[in-house]
Structure 1
Amino acid sequence: MGIQEFTYLLQGLAWTLFLTAIGFAGGIFFGLVVALMRVSPSAWLRVPAICWIGLFQGTPLLMQLFVAYFGLPLIGFDLPAWGAVSVALTAHASAFLGEIWRGAIQAVPKGQSEAAQALGLHGVSRMFDVVLPQAFKLSLPATVGFLVQLLKGTSLAAIVGFIELARAGTIVSNQIYRPLLVFGVVGAMYFAMCWPLSLWGRTLERRMAAGQAK
């Protein structure tokens, strides 16, 4: 495998990181909305959030990519391949992150919110100044773990013809007829991205467990 093929793989790697960043950033924003709706006392907000989470957790990411790529143009949204994939990854991430953060919000002791209420803080301030900072800390290991899954999930974008790292590996392999070498390099690239994140997530989890034990 020459420098030209390796450079092509690096271009696919850049697209993989780009898709991961877009999906995760969008998932953070919309996931927070979903989480707040999920813990809302209003059924008008809570039920749609439950349905959203159930839909995207209960269907394969591959199907979600197909729907975004082929379905959005049918309703007037003619997006490029990377745009459709980004929409699918964002929706997918928002459902999973929303449920992760819902659990973290509900894991914060109620006494914290009650103490804030006793100090005269209104509902929005109690949530954003007292509950969410603690919930974010509790959810951090699971959030990092999902980021690893999302990064690996970008490989499914190849099914709609988008050239990210896995697809670039397939193209290079078909050109030089050395699949073991090419996918060994591709696998090493995924490992170099995912392993540090997994290690960080486990470290955070151990720190939290040690802090709770004290």
Structure 2
Amino acid sequence: MDRNQFLFLLGGLKWTLALSAIGFVVGSIAGLGVALARTSGHRALERVAAGYIALFQGTPLLMQLFVVYYGLALAGLKLDAWVSVSIGFTLHSGAFLGEIWRGAIEAVPKGQVEAAKALSLNYGSQMQDVVLPQAIRISLPATIGFLVQLIKGTSLAAIIGFTELMRAGTIVSNQNFKPLLVLGLVCVLYFAICWPLSLVGAQLERRMAVAAR
């Protein structure tokens, strides 16, 4: 593998990280809205949020990317691969993070919510000052675990022509006919990103277990 091919792989890594960041950050905003809707007590909001979660958790991510890229094009809205995969991963992340955070919100002791109500705190203050700080702490291990899965899932973006790390590796291996070397390096790069995150998630989970004793 020559220098230009290695730099091409790093370019693919850059887009993998960028796609993961956009999917996670924007998906976090959507996920928070979904989690709040699921725990709002308003039946209509809860049903809409539950339907959204069921749709995106019950269908393959690959199919979701196909629908966004090709489905919208058939409807007359032609988007480039970068925008399409960003939308697809954002919608996917919003559903999973929304369910993770819904569980974390419901895991906050009811007594604390009742105490906040007794102090005449409105819904916004209850969430901001009492519920969400604890829910975020509870959800951190699962949230980091999802981020690891999201980073690995970006490899599916190659199916619609987006050149992230996996597709870059495939292109390079087709050029130099050294698939074991190139794809082995791709695996090392994925591992170098995901393994430290997995360690952080495991450490946070152990700390929470100790604190709960």
> Which bin holds the TM-score, normalised by the shorter protein?
over 0.9
CA deviation profile, 1:151-202 (whole Å, cap 9, x unmatched):
0000000000111000000000000000000011000000000000000000
Equivalent residue number for residue 103 of structure 1: 103
SS of 1:163's equivalent? coil
Equivalent residue number for residue 65 of structure 1: 65
Superposed, 1:153-192 pairs within 5 Å as 153-192=153-192
Equivalent residue number for residue 152 of structure 2: 152
> How far did residue 73 of structure 1 move?
2.4
Structure 2: state its 5+ residue gaps.
none
- Mapped to 2, the partners of 1:112 and 1:75 lie a distance apart of 49
Equivalent residue number for residue 48 of structure 1: 48
Question: Which amino acid is the alignment partner of residue 12 of structure 2?
Answer: G
Question: Which amino acid is the alignment partner of residue 38 of structure 2?
Answer: R
Tell me the C-alpha RMSD between the 2 structures. 0.8
> How far did residue 76 of structure 1 move?
4.1
CA deviation profile, 1:14-67 (whole Å, cap 9, x unmatched):
000000000001110000000011112111100010000000000000000000
Equivalent residue number for residue 206 of structure 2: 206
- Mapped to 2, the partners of 1:64 and 1:192 lie a distance apart of 27
- Mapped to 1, the partners of 2:187 and 2:64 lie a distance apart of 25
- Mapped to 2, the partners of 1:18 and 1:54 lie a distance apart of 27
Equivalent residue number for residue 140 of structure 1: 140
> How far did residue 122 of structure 1 move?
1.0
SS of 2:212's equivalent? helix
Identity %: 64
Question: Which amino acid is the alignment partner of residue 198 of structure 1?
Answer: S
Equivalent residue number for residue 93 of structure 1: 93
TM-score by length of 1: 0.98
Equivalent residue number for residue 84 of structure 1: 84
Equivalent residue number for residue 4 of structure 1: 4
- Mapped to 2, the partners of 1:38 and 1:206 lie a distance apart of 28
Equivalent residue number for residue 114 of structure 1: 114
- Mapped to 2, the partners of 1:137 and 1:75 lie a distance apart of 42
- Mapped to 2, the partners of 1:169 and 1:24 lie a distance apart of 23
TM-score by length of 2: 0.98
SS of 1:121's equivalent? coil
- Mapped to 1, the partners of 2:88 and 2:77 lie a distance apart of 13
